[in-house]
Structure formats: C-alpha cells, structure tokens
Amino acid sequence: MKGYTWRAVVYIDKDANTSLYEQIYQQIKSWIADGSIAKDTQLSGIRTLSKTLGVARNTVDKA
C-alpha cells in the first residue's frame, strides 16, 4: 500500500548491553526481512518515534 504509514511498538531495554539505537535498528530490520513492513511503507518520523520511546532524536536517527 503506497503511502501507508506503518506504526508498531518498538521495545527497548535501557538496561541491556546492546545500545538503544542498535535495538531499534535490529527490530525494524527484522520487520523488513520477515515482510511485516511492505515495500513503499512509510514509517513514523524520527520525532514521533523518539517521543514515543522516550529517547533522544539522535538515537532514533542513528538507528
């Protein structure tokens, strides 16, 4: 669906040994790989995701 905005819950563990940006990146990457996110799907913006997750915009941008 072109132009569809896909929203999902990204789970992060602030106490994990893995960096926050890596946790975000790996989840989004796995959704793409398993087909949960279709081609041409628009993801939520950096500001929206950072606010939802309670992390800095730079963290989401790096992911």
Question: Looking at residue 6, what is its pLDDT?
Answer: 55
Q: N- to C-terminal Cα distance for the chain? A: 24
Report the candidate in 40, 50, 37 with the shortest Cα–Cα distance to residue 8.
37
Its pTM stands at: 0.79
Task: Give the SS3 label for residue 49.
Answer: helix
For 37-62, how does the pLDDT look when each residue is reduced to its tens digit (9 = 90+)?
887 788 888 998 888 888 999 999 99
pLDDT > 80? residue 2: no
Q: How big is the chain by its Cα radius of gyration, in Å?
A: 12
The Cα–Cα gap between 43 and 37 comes to 9
pLDDT in tens, 7-35: 567 888 989 999 999 999 999 899 889 88
